Amino acid sequence: MITLELMSPHDVAEQIAKLAQAKRLSFNLSQRSLSERSGVSFGVIKKFERTGKISLESLLKIALVLDCLKEFAVLFKPIPPQQVATLDELINEKKRKRGRR
């Protein structure tokens, strides 16, 4: 298996779809029963497993049924600061609300 760093976004989406399909099968669920349990249409699940294309909301619904939702909680977790010199700096640290570029 190729590491994610060397894969394109399209390749990562396809890999996620394959892993989701394998997880579904390990739970002995059909696409139809996953559709009923998740509230995601059968056609969307078929397309997702074939192409990797799906909305984030539908992916999260599927992840909930497949017991994988907790993995999304760390997806964009902020990197902790390397070193904080003083408590004053930590208290007065402002969080960015928008980017410059």
Percentage of residues of the chain with pLDDT beyond 90: 63
Domain of 32, in residue numbers: 4-74
Residue partners of 41: CB distance under 8 A and separation at least 6: 35
Does some domain include residue 10? yes
Does some domain include residue 12? yes
CB 47 within 8 A of CB 54: yes
Q: Which pTM was predicted?
A: 0.74
CATH classification of the domain holding 42: 1.10.260.40
Does some domain include residue 61? yes
Give the number of other Cβ atoms within 10 Å of residue 14's Cβ.
Answer: 17
Question: How does pLDDT run across 56-73, given as a tens digit for each residue?
Answer: 999 999 999 999 999 998
Residue partners of 101: CB distance under 8 A and separation at least 6: none
Does some domain include residue 54? yes
Using pLDDT thresholds of 50, 70 and 90, give the confidence band for residue 91.
confident
Does some domain include residue 24? yes
**In 3D, which of 72, 77, 38, 52 has the Cα closest to residue 29?**
38
Does some domain include residue 9? yes
In whole angstroms, what is the distance from residue 37 CA to residue 86 CA? 51
Q: How many domains does the chain have?
A: 1
